[in-house]
Amino acid sequence: MKAAGEGKPRTRLAGLAQDMAAARGWRRRAIAFAAGAVSTLAFAPFFAWPVMFVTFPVLVWMLDGAVNEQRPLRAAFGAAWWFGFGYFFAGLFWVGEAFLVEAEIFAWLIPFAVTALPAGLALFWGLAGAASERACTRLGLRKPGIPPHTAALARVLMLAVVLTAAEWLRGHALTGFPWDPPGVALTYPLALMQAVSVFGIYGLTLWAVVIFASPLVVMAVAEPGEQAGAVRLAAISSALPLALAFIAGSWHLSAPASPPLPGVKLRVVQPSIAQREKWMAEKQAGIFQTHLDLSRRNGDGVEDGLDGITHVVWPEAAMPFGPLDHPEALGAIGALLGNGRYLLAGGLRAESDVTAPWGRRAYNSLMVFGAGGTLVTLYDKVHLVPFGEYLPFQAALEAIGLQSLTRQRGGFAAGKTPKQLLNVPGLPPVSPLICYEAIFPGEVAPGGERPGAILIITNDGWFGNTSGPQQHFHQARLRAVEQGVSLVRAANNGVSAVVDPEGRTISSVLLLNQRGTIDSALPAPRKQTLYALLGETIFLFNALIYLAIVAFMKRPRRNVQPAQVTMGTPG
């Protein structure tokens, strides 16, 4: 990364930038992969997001270095793909744990699962890298006439726009998988989390790229006499928005907490059933009884006959059988509830359908039971997990012996869309989410109808003692803050909690491998958030502002020496 007319880097930072830009072959790939992998320390349970101040500049420098390659678009794609591959490989390694639940059947698939998924997701980053390089070249953001630090910030802004657009596509294309976009790094501590109620997670991703990449990238190219200006520009683009977000979030948290809804007292049950036992037919009666027994005990483990409790919440697939087809199970539920109480529980159900491959359709459902074990309402999961709850080309793959992880013949069927809010007696309108539906911001308020609370039932027992369950819980909290409503989360194993509209956990929290119950009030929703009102329009508006700033920055300035940085030579 030598400046025109200079044989040596001006500073150590400039030298580092030169080395990153000049890297070729396997050295470039290894550096990019390592930088992407280290970036995942920004997420739960570590929240070491300052690492991104180092790793994201590496990505920008490598994209800048691609301009001197014989095939710059290919080089930019490769650098960004390897960064993304490291990012997703380290961030999603825990997926392999699911294949160890029945290792004798599925363990052979682990190498494919832990590499193919990250490799596929990294394609979105590769495309973003190529698009960013192309846009920067077409706009002349590396030509003489623009102050180097100004041009550097413009390139960061362009990368922010195209990478966030790619992240949006990752969250929607081919059923979508928006796990931990970079904006999640800006949601810890709690004061910073409040920004998601304004910008949403994709709007925060725009900010995250600029905040983390701009300081080192801008200062690395500052010309002699321009260092002060470069520092000011880096501070305005990085330190200032970060400080403002923290101050605004702290001010918001200083307000009185949301009051509890009158007449509502929840009991959340976490049974911590071993995942291997979950689907064994001989274990199902015992699993059901465990849920019944825990439901009668308070958070201290004392049996209290559900005194004062209005709603009991069980996790996903709490009943790993069809309770609607078992009158004895419905009778037991009725005996548990008595009069005036309700059970919200995960269970399986099936409907006859002669058009289905196996003559019926199975659903992963959230069911609401009332007095006598009568079914009040239900929700069938809409966003199913590929290879977990169904197989693409299900019939063909089953014919050659492949199975989904749940081993449900024919796979699960998706529920009806558009999804409706659940009307549960005694509760405000509830947005039901089952398992990984919680990582999709658009799943919370179907059709624009704002819920009064979010209910998530899940089972993170698939993923063992890894970072996966903690990341899953943290992303669930973001849905509450985005909408400004409370969250009730019941996990078979993982993290069970009640969260207020600001993302604070109230009462106790049940962590991974803990068995017990939580008794809690339900905080009332707060005033509708800007994100709840406008949704991803905010992201689009911010992206347009970024592009307008880039257009302004690319105009040549008078009396600027042509000392533009070039990124090495093809190797």
CA atoms within 13 A on the CB side of 246: 9
Are the C-beta atoms of residues 386 and 411 closer than 8 Å to each other?
A: no
Catalytic residues: 316, 381, 435
- Of 398, 52, 397, nearest to 207 by C-alpha is 52
Share of the chain residues as helix, strand and coil, in percent rounded to the nearest 5:
50, 15, 35
DSSP class per residue in 259-270? PBPTT--EEEEE
Q: If you ran DSSP here, which 8-state letter would residue 44 be given? A: T
Helix (H) or strand (E) holding 397: helix 394-399
Q: What is the 3-state secondary structure (H, E, C) of 422-454?
A: ECCCCCCCEEEEEHHHHHCHHHCCHHHCCCCEE
> Any residues with CB less than 8 A from the CB of 465 and at least 6 apart, and which?
512, 513
Can you tell me the distance from the alpha carbon of 152 to that of 214, in angstroms, rounded to the nearest whole number?
Answer: 8
Can you tell me the distance from the alpha carbon of 438 to that of 477, in angstroms, rounded to the nearest whole number?
Answer: 9
Strand partners of residue 266: 311, 520
> Any residues with CB less than 8 A from the CB of 89 and at least 6 apart, and which?
33, 36, 37, 114, 115, 118
Can you tell me the distance from the alpha carbon of 243 to that of 77, in angstroms, rounded to the nearest whole number?
Answer: 33
Can you tell me the distance from the alpha carbon of 225 to that of 231, in angstroms, rounded to the nearest whole number?
Answer: 12
